[in-house]
Chain A
Amino acid sequence: MSRAAAAADWTREEMMTIAASRLLWNGCVCFVGIGLPGAACNLARLTHAPDLVLVYESGTLGTKPDVLPLSIGDGELATTAACVIPLPEVFAWYLQAGRIDVGFLGAAQIDPYGNLNSTVIGPYDAPTTRLPGAGGATEIAAHARRTYVLLKASPRSCVARLDFRTSGCDAGARSAGGRGPRAVITDFGVLTPDAARGELMLDALYPGATVEEARSCVAWPLAVAGTVRIIDPPRTEELAALRALQARTRAAHGATSAGGR
């Protein structure tokens, strides 16, 4: 029997990871990054979705790491993979060809339509902050059948207008198979696009979070669904699996935090 943990027993970051893991179904093929998305996908594999298929852009297909990797190319991913393929094949023959069900994205900035910036803060030619750049994100946003965005929300990250558009998630930016962002999982709850205009609205809150808190974290006037769902708190077995995964990861990486960026 599953049991809900008491509110004081979990953190918002744990809730975020668990909320993201619940969006994945058994057998789905996930294009995984490092940090929170990696934790969410591996948690799903260790709990309700044992046959979930993890694909990392380093070419490791069907990998089953025992600890979360620090990089997307740690040796652990290769030794536990069904096979390892060259990187150009991952992008051309799997992602572009429509063979990825779910892609996870993160970013420094998101706009009301789910477009993302991971390139620069400030002008491109004279940035105040140079961020890492696109990596796989632009084509994940275009070609994964659905995408989920994981992001800690603040008025600096949830902006009315991006400094730079790295990945387009709105309708004009997607290939025929890609259906764009299904949900943005934040540290207060979940935003989903409104069916008519595609603008992100508040769909669900974590236990203890409020509409006011959500609005204070978003720099545009946030629309709120007619009924805001309250997401189930973490179940004891979800928390136990996540914490065990993070403890194994800490032990493996020495002082490194579990999948933290």
Chain B
Amino acid sequence: MPVLSLCTAIEQYVPDGCCAALEGFTHLIPFAAGHEIIRQRRRDLHLVRMTPDLVYDQMIGMGCASRLTFSWGGNPGVGSLHRLRDAVERGWPLPLALDEHTHAGMAAAYAAGAARLPFGVLRGYVGSDLPNVNPRIRSVRCPYTGESLATVPAINPDVTILHAQRADRAGNVALQGIVGAQREAALAAKALVVTVEEIVDRFPPMMNSVLLPHWVVSAVVLAPRGAWPSYAHGYYARDNAFYVRWDAIARDRDSFLAWMREHVLAGSVA
């Protein structure tokens, strides 16, 4: 498991047109990696995330994506993701195809992907119009009871990118706090890149912890504060004031582009 620079890791693992999942449920969102993808001007990506959050609002607004698999696309506690809305409502800067699910459906699809099963199964989507607009949501009859159950195709991204608190020199990665569907997304992927706050010599034995063992990790990148403005439990708190501020920055195309030029394309993040 190599330790790579952020630039090299994105060059190697995120080609144009690939399917990429940058996961992290509110916590440990890999913003630094998203910004590097924007700087390398990746195009035609199929982005996968339960909650697109600001990181995909930024990538969509900068024209990186042509397709989005997701289950809740808002700015938590604040309102809309204006760049996502602009892409869906007006095709700016590019049209965005949607593969829309519920949280329970996405979780089942990641879990199936991690297990290399073809689909996930759940009692879900009942009474919803979502299966009418997403032909990938189907159903199967239980061979034991005859009950009809919803199915979602497994998600197997070409690359999953996570942010974590720590890796050790062997390449084991440890996550703590709210862990969302990161284990599932990590093990569902063909390649796994993890940015971390810190690289330590060796972990103590971690019974029952969320640990991604070194042989499933493709590359580790040292990226302190790489989850800002989300957070890394034990290192820094969620920048809630920035999430509130993003609403005004992203509402307008020009102010969005100006912010991205100053804080991302120029290479340094405020």
**Interface membership of B129, Cβ < 8 A:** yes
Closest A residue to B85 by beta carbon equals A130
Partner of B241, one of A129, A168, A253: A253
Closest A residue to B128 by beta carbon equals A138
Minimum CB–CB distance from B164 to chain A (whole Å) comes to 14
**Which residues of A approach B to under 8 Å, CB–CB?**
34-35, 57-60, 69-75, 77-78, 84, 86-88, 91-92, 95-96, 115, 119, 124-125, 127-139, 141-143, 164-170, 172-175, 253-256, 259-261
**Interface membership of B135, Cβ < 8 A:** no
In Å, the complex CA distance between A167 and B81 comes to 21
Q: A164 contacts which chain B residues (CB < 8 A)?
A: 129
Minimum CB–CB distance from B211 to chain A (whole Å) comes to 13
Contact with A along B207-240 (1 / 0, CB 8 A): 0001000000000000000000001010001101
Chain A: interface secondary structure?
Answer: loop
Are A130 and B27 touching (Cβ within 8 A)?
A: no
Q: B125 contacts which chain A residues (CB < 8 A)?
A: 138
Closest B residue to A163 by beta carbon equals B129
Are A70 and B103 touching (Cβ within 8 A)?
A: no
In Å, the complex CA distance between A139 and B80 comes to 22
Are B180 and A133 touching (Cβ within 8 A)?
A: no
**A to B contact number (C-beta, < 8 Å):** 196
Are A169 and B127 touching (Cβ within 8 A)?
A: yes
Known pairs A96-B104, A166-B128; A88 contacts B89 (CB<8 A): no
Q: A35 contacts which chain B residues (CB < 8 A)?
A: 77
Contact with A along B120-137 (1 / 0, CB 8 A): 001111111110010000
- List 11 extra interface pairs beyond A128-B89, A133-B71, A139-B103, CB under 8 A: A59-B25, A73-B27, A75-B231, A78-B27, A78-B233, A134-B130, A135-B71, A138-B127, A165-B128, A168-B126, A175-B123
Partner of A134, one of B26, B71, B111, B238: B71
In Å, the complex CA distance between A138 and B177 comes to 26
In Å, the complex CA distance between A107 and B125 comes to 17
In Å, the complex CA distance between A58 and B77 comes to 14
7 tightest A-B contacts by CB? A168-B127, A173-B127, A73-B26, A132-B74, A71-B76, A135-B72, A88-B107
Are B103 and A87 touching (Cβ within 8 A)?
A: yes
In Å, the complex CA distance between A132 and B103 comes to 12
Known pairs A71-B26, A95-B104, A139-B102; A133 contacts B178 (CB<8 A): no
In Å, the complex CA distance between A253 and B244 comes to 10
**Which residues of B approach A to under 8 Å, CB–CB?**
25-27, 50-51, 70-74, 76-81, 84-85, 88-89, 100-104, 107-108, 110-111, 122-130, 133, 177-184, 210, 231, 233, 237-238, 240-241, 243-244
Are B26 and A72 touching (Cβ within 8 A)?
A: yes
Known pairs A74-B26, A253-B240; A59 contacts B122 (CB<8 A): no
Partner of B88, one of A57, A115, A127: A127
Q: B127 contacts which chain A residues (CB < 8 A)?
A: 115, 138, 141-142, 165, 167-170, 172-174
Partner of A87, one of B25, B122, B126, B237: B25
Are A86 and B122 touching (Cβ within 8 A)?
A: no
Q: A138 contacts which chain B residues (CB < 8 A)?
A: 102, 104, 124-128, 130
Are A60 and B178 touching (Cβ within 8 A)?
A: yes
Are B180 and A70 touching (Cβ within 8 A)?
A: no
Q: B101 contacts which chain A residues (CB < 8 A)?
A: 134
Q: B126 contacts which chain A residues (CB < 8 A)?
A: 138, 142, 168, 173-175
In Å, the complex CA distance between A115 and B85 comes to 24
Are A92 and B130 touching (Cβ within 8 A)?
A: no
